[in-house]
Amino acid sequence: MNTRWIALPALLGALTVQAADDEILRLTQASGCAACHQTEPSRTAGSPPPLAPAWRDIATRYKSVKGAQQQLTATVMTGSLPADQGRSPYASHWTGKVQGEFMPTHRHAVTQADAARIVAWILALEPLK
């Protein structure tokens, strides 16, 4: 049996995953997500925290949260300003880890379906160890 044919399905699977990643990353660029977020955390000693959490940090934080897909999709669409819910705008669980205090609404920049696709991709990232 020719081993090249055995490796072909694995290669095609990897190319499909890469194509999906590229498509989502293009979508995050077009909708403005990448202006504040990045995929991997960048923690350099002495530098200020990033503007927003890295997507892998979000995946780690929400890995075992029930309803995370719906919650995060809603946050993308409506924003995360806690004052709208009667809480302090400085009470974010990202306080001290990022510079931004809240996420603005993106309902004019991305459709609900695309927001859900982006969130599903984020939650599928391998969490940080």
Lowest mean pLDDT among 36-45, 50-59, 81-90: 81-90
Domains of the chain in sequence order: 3-124 (1.10.760.10)
- Nearest residue to 53 via CA among 71, 44, 40, 70: 40
pTM of the model: 0.76
Q: What confidence tens digit (pLDDT) does each residue in 89-126 have?
A: 556 677 778 888 778 888 999 999 999 999 999 999 98
Lowest mean pLDDT among 9-23, 33-47, 49-63, 69-83: 9-23
CB contact at 8 A, 122 and 22 = no
